[in-house]
Structure formats: C-alpha cells, structure tokens
Amino acid sequence: MFIPRAGTRGQAPLLIPHNRDSEETRPMDTAFFFIQLLNGLQYGLLLFLVACGLTLIFGIMGIINLAHGSFYMIGAYIAWSLASMTGNLALAILLGIPLTVLLGMLLEWLLFRYLYARDHLYQVLMTYGLILVFEELRSLVWGDDVHGVAVPALLAGSIPLTDNLSYPIYRLAISVICLVLAGGLYWLIQKTRLGMMIRAGSTNREMVQALGINIKLLYTLIFALGVALAAFAGMIAAPVSSVYPNMGAQVLIICFVVVVIGGIGSVWGALLASVLIGLTDTFGKVLLPEYAGVSTYLLMALVLLWRPEGLFKRI
C-alpha cells in the first residue's frame, strides 16, 4: 500500500468509539462505510494513473518496465522540491509535469528504443538496473529522509459527514482529478488522430510504419505519456502519502497486478481493475485485516480463472 487511509497526518480519525446501543449507531456506521468507499475509490483511481502508464508502455510497446514505479517516486520528490521552493503545490505540479515529459522522451531516445526488438530478459535487466540508478540518484540529490508536502490551503478542509466523522476535501479532489484524466485519455485514444495511430500501433506496428507514420516518434510520445502519468500520480499523492525512499517499489508490484487483471494493453481494463483493487484492499483492511495482504492477489487469481486474458482485450 502506498497511500495511507484518511485519518493520518493530522486529519480527523475515521474510526471512533461509539455506543452500540445509541440511536446514532446506524448513521455512524453508514458514514463510516461511505468513507471507506471513498477511500477505496480514491486509492483505485490514483493507482489507475500509475498503472495506465505501465499498460500503455507494456501493452503497446511491448516493454517490461520494472522502473515504472521509480517515475512515481520521482514525481513525488519533484513535487516536494518545487513546492518547498515556491510554497505552492499547484505551481510545483505545473512546473514538474513538463520536466517528467522531457525525462520520458530522453529515456526512450537514449535507452528504451533499443529494446523493442530484444528479448524480454534484456528489458528486465536494463529496467532493473534503472531502478538502482534512480534510487542512488535520489539518495544523492534528496537524501534518505522522509518528507511531507503541505496540502494546498484551498483544499485543506474537510467535509463533515456526522458529528464525529469528516472527509478531507483534498482526497475528493484527487478522485475528481483522476476521473477527469481518465476521461481525457478516453478522448485522446478514441477520438483523435493520435489515438487512432496508438490503437493501430498496438496491433500491427509494421503496417503502421509502412503507411508512413513515424512509429519511433509515436513510441516516444507514448513512453513520455506513461512516465508523466506515473509522475503526476506521485505529485498529487505526496501530501497524503509523504515522500520517502523506495516508495516506487511499493507501487510497482500492485501496478503489474492491475495490468494482469485488466488485460495487457487495455486502458479501460486498467481503470476497472484499479477500482476493484482499491475497494478490495480498503474493505479488506476494515473487515478482514488478517487476510488483507492477500486479498488483492486472491482477486487476481479469481479473475484469471474466469478470464485468463484479463477483463478486457487491447485498446
């Protein structure tokens, strides 16, 4: 888990003692359930941003990118650095997104484009090496301390649900932002010429290249988009999850689970799988905490028994 539940870092606690015989028991239980539902959706939607970039790179370009979680970490550290300098998280994100896009384009041009025709073993070895490089650079540039990022003042409040329970506005804002980006990705992939080329390139790259489309540039853009999505997820998650070493490794495994459940190369499968995992993990920790660690993988096993190819096919 890479996102702590609401109620941490100074926010109002979600679980409070109450008298079971009180008339307030039912409304409080309902509010508690609603809070966990919002937590699960927020976690799932944020996970979608990271996993969506991975499924684009893995499903369309055929690259097994073990370093994808590192982009999530880099985004969080960039947000912390720029927010510390500017005092404004929104400005830090606006400045950080172009930097991550350039990082993605540079990495694809220098390293990843030489892996398309290679065996997956080469991809695994190189991207694992990148994890080590990024972690060492992170230690040299930012150190090994844990850092906090302040929530923007405009979104720092909470919405009261009962006399004792409230929900942070910033977490709602994260969910809304993720939904807007999901809609934007749908429009990009389904309604634009670039999306048409992406869909074609995911099925027959040789034919796309024969039609005169610059497949190298297309792959550069796809990779940069995947990196930017993961980094942006790290930026907006920084105020609720803190910024700490090795945070990318924690999200990487769960992202591969999302890709497997949703279907390799399917953005919409990644969205549905992320929401399912978010709800399963959240309610699992509340209802069956002793089995919460395996709930996500049990969900993956059940889906694969039902549909071995995942919930959806390629884009």
At 24-83, the pLDDT tens digits run: 444 447 878 888 899 999 999 999 999 988 888 887 788 889 999 999 999 999 999 999
pLDDT, residue 266, reads: 82
Any idea what the Cα angle at residue 49 is, between residues 59 and 102, rounded to 5°? 80
Amino acid at 17: P
* 54-69: pLDDT as tens digits: 888 887 788 889 999 9
Asked, for residue 27, whether it belongs to a domain, the answer is no
Mean pLDDT of 130-149: 93
Where does the pLDDT of residue 312 fall: very low under 50, low under 70, confident under 90, or very high at 90 and above? confident
Any idea what the Cα angle at residue 268 is, between residues 309 and 121, rounded to 5°? 50
Where does the pLDDT of residue 227 fall: very low under 50, low under 70, confident under 90, or very high at 90 and above? very high
Residue 22 has pLDDT above 50, yes or no: no
Mean pLDDT of 300-313: 86
Asked, for residue 110, whether it belongs to a domain, the answer is yes
Where does the pLDDT of residue 208 fall: very low under 50, low under 70, confident under 90, or very high at 90 and above? confident
Asked, for residue 84, whether it belongs to a domain, the answer is yes
Query: Both tokens of residue 48?
Result: 């979608």
More confident residue, 48 or 3: 48
More confident residue, 259 or 161: 259
Asked, for residue 194, whether it belongs to a domain, the answer is yes
Directed axis angle between helix 215-241 and helix 68-86, to 10°? 60
Taking the CB of residue 275, how many other CB atoms lie within 10 A of it? Answer: 18
Asked, for residue 258, whether it belongs to a domain, the answer is yes
Q: What SS3 string covers the chain?
A: CCCCCCCCCCCCCCCCCCCCCCCCHHHHHHHHHHHHHHHHHHHHHHHHHHHHHHHHHHHHHCCCCCCHHHHHHHHHHHHHHHHHHHCCHHHHHHHHHHHHHHHHHHHHHHCHHHCCCCCHHHHHHHHHHHHHHHHHHHHHHHCCCCECCCCCHHHCCEEECCCCCEEEHHHHHHHHHHHHHHHHHHHHHHHCHHHHHHHHHHHCHHHHHHCCCCHHHHHHHHHHHHHHHHHHHHHHHHHHHCECCCHHHHHHHHHHHHHHHHCCCCHHHHHHHHHHHHHHHHHHHHHCHHHHHHHHHHHHHHHHHHCCCCCCCCC
- Percentage with pLDDT > 90 across the chain: 44
Asked, for residue 112, whether it belongs to a domain, the answer is yes
**Domain that residue 122 falls in:** 46-155+169-306
Pairing state between β 158-160 and 166-168: antiparallel
* 228-271: pLDDT as tens digits: 999 999 999 999 988 999 898 889 989 989 988 998 878 888 99
Residue 4 has pLDDT above 60, yes or no: no
Residue 156 has pLDDT above 90, yes or no: no
Asked, for residue 164, whether it belongs to a domain, the answer is no
Asked, for residue 120, whether it belongs to a domain, the answer is yes
Where does the pLDDT of residue 14 fall: very low under 50, low under 70, confident under 90, or very high at 90 and above? very low
Residue 20 has pLDDT above 50, yes or no: no
More confident residue, 293 or 34: 34
Nearest to 108 by CA among 87, 92, 126: 126
The total of structural domains in the chain comes to: 1
Where does the pLDDT of residue 16 fall: very low under 50, low under 70, confident under 90, or very high at 90 and above? very low
